Structure 1
Amino acid sequence: MMRSPSRARGLRRIWPVVLGVMLFASGIESHAAERLDSIRQRGVLVVGVKTDYPPFGMLTANAQQEGFETDLAGDLARRLGVRLRTIGVNTTNRLQVLDDGRADVTIATLGDTAERREIATLVEPDYYSSGVTLMTRPDSLIKRWSDLRGQTLCATQGSYFNRTMVERYLLQLQTYPTSRDAKLAVRDRRCAGWLFDNTAIAGDLLSSEWHGYRIGPPPELVTPWAIAIARNARGSAFERFIGDTVAQWHRDGTLIALEHKWGLPPSTFLARMHALWTIRRANGHYLCERLADGQWPVACRNPIFVTSTDVTGLRRWGLWLNEKTGVNLTCFYDDYERRAFLYGIALTLSLTACCICGSVAVALVMVHLAHLSGRVLPAAMRGIAALARMTPPLLQIYVVFFGLGSFAAARWSVHFSGFWVVTGVLCFYTGAGLMHTFDEAWVNACAKHAGSISGAPGPRELIAESSSAVTAALVNVTKATMIASTIAVPELLSASTSIIAEHGNVGTMMNMLMAFFVLETFCVLRLLQWAHRRWCDVPR
């Protein structure tokens, strides 16, 4: 069968294109494979580093580049046995210099994100991290994020973390157009601290202008940093060499030593990575050694980029469900968030138990004091109970925690526990309401015993006389325990909102939260009914 002339001409036109694509692809692959050999042959490693981000990258008085990341570049060159040549880069062009071949490597405070992995090869393991913290005045007493409730913070306009941190910790922000303005506002006591990246703050604190100022609470929204090479070098010997070098930096303490050299505060990330990369198995081998396919074990990788095919068990199921349906149950398959979620459940149940028992106890004490002989104490108890019932519990919590708590901290260095403040306020509020109920039950019980010598009614009789009202009040206080999140008690609502702030899975976490409280309320109701039958059946 003969081909038509037009078809033959079409094939002749297409064939050079196909051949060109194949040659281009093979050229890219060959280029990636030969990058390490090429660097060794020319005897120079070209690394892009920042010059405007002290102490990670900066210029000396004679315009020489130096800093934390410049030292890392020098160590890479030394291990390769070649000379180092650095070029200055900034946030805008630090990946572009890889594409156009001006640099072999970029070490420039580059956050390890999915978007950047589409542009370049980001080498694992990550070598440093940054997060959001505060720059505070030398006399600041802020140590935890929970210390900031109700205080005003300075922030820089356009910072990506402003909204997330406000929602997570109920912060009040004053935003300034530049970081310089925000820092000056801190100095002038217009706000408690400057909300910004911890590595930038660490660089500022090295200057004489901000000497003595402090870095505040542990960083939040932590993003690891990665060394970047060209995208076509993914899976190459060059990538493997850099990854093995970073792993060795973690093992031998090189990164921690550089952190100390450049005056940076100790990093939780580096301490954790040093501990991880020095763990040995029973056979003496490191836990974090490359597998047969050249990949690092899952436990040693950036968890953000682990997929369901990389893991087994519950984590695999959770990741698969997220990948297929978008239902992100991180509280099941993520170890850290599972612990936080379970701790939140335990704390919520503890709050519930304390508030139920405490409310009944407070009500019984108050009603007995209200029926003592005399006028002053009974009148005082009834007035206190009325005030407690008419004041919203959230306002009471704020008054005790922020008002009395701030006074006690400043005067006697006594810090109130958020858990016990919430427990005490809810017991007082609910107990005051139950006192009114028990007061009526007291009158009814006394009327029944008129002329007898039975004396004042006991707790069992009071509760039995008002069982429906007592059950309703205790079910309400069960639901009110969520109010604890307003003062950073890490109960279930607080844990859930933290997970939402990290992953944005609002619908999933809110539905789980609703299901938990429906189940908890149902169980509390049945338990109260059972307790009433077992304990409060008073003989008629």
Structure 2
Amino acid sequence: MSTVALAAVAGAAFTFAAPAAHADQLERVKDRGRLIVGIRNDYVPFGYIDDAGANVGFEVDIAKAVAKEMLGSEDAIEYVPVVASNRIEFLNAGRIDVIFATLGVTEERGKVIDFTDYYYMMAGMVLLAPKDAEYSSWEDIRGKKICGSQGNLYNRMLTEKFEADLVLFTGTAEIYNAFETGRCDAIAYDGPNLNMKVTEPGWKDKYKIALDTIDYVPIAGGVRKNEPEFLAAVNKGIEKAEAADLLVEGEEKYSLGKSEYVAKRAEEAREKLGQ
């Protein structure tokens, strides 16, 4: 979660002002015959490239479910790689139809885009550090060089509240390389990603999750404003995917662990659909 401070994100999004009206966006997508999705391709387990060169991940599966509901086939989809710092710009510039890229729901972002009704996951930031490092609270990162992601919604908190010296990058590979080469003392990044990273060979013996989740925020899809029919179609696709336990199974498939939130969403979706 998937990510410069909130003011910078909102400011960048205004640079690419959303078109005045897109009530016929759904019709255009159907005429085109494919859904263009902004997706992460470097962020295990939400969106990444597998050994066969295919886009896979928790949010890729959601995107496929939406494409199938909207267009009749999960293959009626085009992936556009995005990072946290450009995903809203790409959306409001018309380069993509929808964002499925660890997009945290915030009031500031809600001023420039619309979120899907279905917040399909809750996620938060953790701190990864060397095993011999001592951090008892987030206050202990004060003055430390902390590697992170451009556009992350926690960056303002890290700098203003905890006074960390952030070293920001666009992609996860850059973050990991900078940390391993000593350019920062620790990594502040999304929990699901770092919890998986610290289990990998070469990492599990040297590093640890030093501080647990600082806060939880809902993760959702994002579309341009003034696209009510298109937004409703995206919501329907997510709702049906939840009701079919795609997200519950996805947590297990991608080693995300079981969450009460996702299970509850699935039950509510089934009730709403009368299943």
Q: Same fold (TM over 0.5)?
A: yes
Residue deviations 1:150-171, cap 9 Å, x none? 995565167433357759xxxx
Residue deviations 1:335-394, cap 9 Å, x none? xxxxxxxxxxxxxxxxxxxxxxxxxxxxxxxxxxxxxxxxxxxxxxxxxxxxxxxxxxxx
Question: 1:195 and 1:28 mapped to 2: Cα distance?
Answer: 37
2:214 maps to a residue whose letter is E
Q: What does 1:48-87 correspond to in 2, within 5 Å?
A: 48-61=38-51, 63-80=53-70, 81-82=72-73, 83-87=76-80
- Residue identity over aligned pairs, in percent, reads 22
Q: What does 1:14-33 correspond to in 2, within 5 Å?
A: 29=21, 31-32=22-23
What's the secondary structure of 1:107's corresponding residue?
Answer: strand
Which deviates more from structure 2 when the two are superposed, residues 106-115 or residues 198-207? Answer: 198-207
Please tell me whether residue 128 in structure 1 is matched to residue 124 in structure 2.
no
Give the aligned partner of residue 220 of structure 2: 226
- Contact kept in structure 2, 1:137 and 1:214, CA below 8 Å: yes
Please tell me whether residue 161 in structure 1 is matched to residue 151 in structure 2.
no
Question: 2:67 and 2:254 mapped to 1: Cα distance?
Answer: 20
2:235 maps to a residue whose letter is G
Question: 2:52 and 2:91 mapped to 1: Cα distance?
Answer: 27
Give the aligned partner of residue 257 of structure 1: 249
Distance 1:40 1:60, change over 3 A: same
Residue deviations 1:142-192, cap 9 Å, x none? 9xxxx926995565167433357759xxxxx7x57465455677xxxx98x
Give the aligned partner of residue 264 of structure 2: 275
Which has a greater percent of helix? 1
Aligned length: 236
Question: 1:128 and 1:150 mapped to 2: Cα distance?
Answer: 24
Question: 2:157 and 2:82 mapped to 1: Cα distance?
Answer: 24
Give the aligned partner of residue 14 of structure 1: none
Q: What does 1:1-400 correspond to in 2, within 5 Å?
A: 29=21, 31-32=22-23, 34-61=24-51, 63-80=53-70, 81-82=72-73, 83-135=76-128, 148=136, 156=146, 159-162=155-158, 166=162, 177=167, 179-180=175-176, 182=179, 194-205=187-198, 207-211=200-204, 214-215=208-209, 218-233=212-227, 236-266=228-258, 270-275=259-264, 278=267, 286=272
- Contact kept in structure 2, 1:155 and 1:162, CA below 8 Å: no
Q: CA deviation at 1:255?
A: 1.6
Which has a greater percent of strand? 2
Q: TM-score, normalised by structure 1?
A: 0.37
Structure 1 gaps, min length 5? 1-26, 168-172, 290-540
Computing the radius of gyration from Cα coordinates, the structure with the larger value is 1
Structure 2 gaps, min length 5? 1-18, 149-154, 169-174
Q: CA deviation at 1:42?
A: 3.0
Question: 2:266 and 2:248 mapped to 1: Cα distance?
Answer: 13
- Contact kept in structure 1, 2:244 and 2:266, CA below 8 Å: no
Question: 1:67 and 1:279 mapped to 2: Cα distance?
Answer: 24
Q: CA deviation at 1:47?
A: 0.9
Q: Which has the higher contact order (CA 8 A, sep 6+)?
A: 2
Give the aligned partner of residue 151 of structure 2: none
Question: 1:274 and 1:218 mapped to 2: Cα distance?
Answer: 22
